[in-house]
């Protein structure tokens, strides 16, 4: 039925306590990068969150990466991109402290492996606000291999963010896929289920459900990741 499956990462393939994750991330990022940048922690994190907000508003005229660094430079009053190598080193190293807010869902790997054997094209459709180093690290935390996926959205290959439909249209264009042949799997009602407006089928994972708008969930195909795995076995 489906030729392509798009997976959200945080809260979907990688179960996560988002509040705890952010707390751990902020603490370890500041510990590592405040001495490097010689900025105080508040200035640094305010700049990060502002840059994330600007990426969320990206209209597609440039990469999210360019929006991020342009906003960081403006917020910090200096060229922050000179620290990009150190930041990548952080995401490949000390960032692992935030893994304590996550856990492995063994069925994630089983599901991915099964779909690969069935010849389904697999895409990690995670909100592209992080660099490749941070996203690849979280995929590995989930017990998965980045090579299991044909395409992974990161801030350096995307020019829109969820829930902007341009984000999903860009994936379709880059990967040469059609929404009506694709399934989007995610835990965020606003960010992931919006893909249905383009013709994607959807599956809402409820283990780490995010429903900011308190939408009525009766209209969504949904269930735990275990329920989803049973769905995969029956439909593919």
Express each pLDDT in 154-183 by its tens digit.
999 999 999 999 999 999 999 999 999 999
Average pLDDT, the chain: 97
Residue 62: pLDDT band (50, 70, 90) is very high
Residue 1: pLDDT band (50, 70, 90) is confident
Tell me whether strands 201-205 and 182-186 are parallel, antiparallel or unpaired: parallel
Cα dist from 73 to 81, 135, 158, whole Å: 8, 23, 20
**Can you identify the CATH homologous superfamily of domain 4-17+103-235?**
HAD superfamily/HAD-like (3.40.50.1000)
Q: What is the pLDDT of residue 162?
A: 98
Residue 99 has pLDDT above 90, yes or no: yes
| pTM confidence score | 0.97
Question: Average pLDDT for residues 59-88, to the nearest whole number?
Answer: 97
Dist CA 189 CA 209 (whole Å): 8
CB 55 within 8 A of CB 129: yes
Q: Is 184 helix (H, G, I), strand (E, B) or coil?
A: strand
b/e burial code for range 111-148 (CB count within 10 A of at least 16 → b): bbeebeeeebbbbbbbbbbbbbbbbbbbbebbbbeeee
Question: Average pLDDT for residues 121-129, to the nearest whole number?
Answer: 98
Rg of the chain, C-alpha, whole Å: 18
- Per residue in 197-212, pLDDT (tens digit) is 999 999 999 999 999 9
* pLDDT above 70: percentage of residues in the chain: 100
What is the domain partition of the chain in residue ranges?
Answer: 4-17+103-235, 19-99
């Amino acid at each position: 039925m489906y030729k392509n499956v798009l997976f959200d990462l945080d809260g979907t393939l990688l179960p996560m306590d988002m509040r705890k994750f952010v707390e751990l991330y902020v603490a370890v990022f500041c510990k590592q990068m405040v001495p490097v940048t010689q900025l105080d922690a508040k200035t640094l994190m305010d700049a990060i969150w502002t840059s994330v907000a600007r990426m969320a508003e990206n209209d597609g005229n440039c990469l999210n990466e360019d929006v991020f660094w342009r906003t960081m430079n403006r917020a910090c009053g200096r060229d922050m991109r000179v620290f990009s190598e150190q930041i990548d080193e952080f995401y490949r190293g000390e960032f692992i402290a935030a893994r304590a807010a996550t856990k492995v869902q063994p069925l994630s790997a089983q599901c991915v492996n099964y779909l690969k054997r069935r010849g389904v094209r697999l895409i990690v459709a995670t909100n592209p606000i992080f660099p490749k180093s941070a996203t690849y690290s979280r995929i590995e935390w989930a017990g998965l291999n980045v090579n299991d996926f044909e395409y992974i959205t990161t801030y350096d290959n995307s020019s829109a963010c969820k829930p902007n439909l341009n984000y999903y249209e860009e994936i379709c264009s880059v990967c040469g896929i059609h929404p009506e042949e694709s399934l989007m799997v995610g835990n965020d009602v606003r960010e992931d289920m919006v893909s249905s407006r383009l013709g994607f089928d959807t599956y809402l994972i409820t283990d780490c459900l995010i429903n900011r708008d308190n939408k009525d969930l009766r209209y969504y195909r949904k269930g735990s990741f275990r329920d989803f795995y049973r769905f995969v076995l029956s439909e593919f």
